[in-house]
Amino acid sequence: RPTGLNPQLKTFQAVFRVTDESTRRWLEEFLSWHGGYRAFLWRPPKHNRTVRVVCREWSVTDNARYSDFSCTIEQVVN
């Protein structure tokens, strides 16, 4: 049985692949600026609406032609 005020909030594991350095820098700055506590709107794959989320954890794997950002994205309420 769910407990708490918001038992149906979701957590997503997402990987964002970027292929150019300017996008890589932008995404790194975006995640850093939000600092794991500032919420932003995001539309999960296969969903038809945006949700308010935070990204408290992420890692970057650099390859020769792209960088993968592995993110744990958590839905939050206002």
Within a domain: 2:
no
Chain-centroid distance, C-alpha 66: 18
Number of domains in the chain: 1
Within a domain: 6:
no
Within a domain: 5:
no
Rounded to whole angstroms, the Cα distance separating 78 from 35 reads 16
Within a domain: 46:
yes
Of 15, 76, 44, 38, the closest CA to residue 29 belongs to 38
Residue 60 is part of which domain span? 11-75
Model-wide pTM > 0.85 = no
pLDDT in tens, 24-64: 999 999 999 999 999 999 999 888 999 999 999 999 999 99
pLDDT in tens, 16-27: 999 999 999 999
Within a domain: 42:
yes
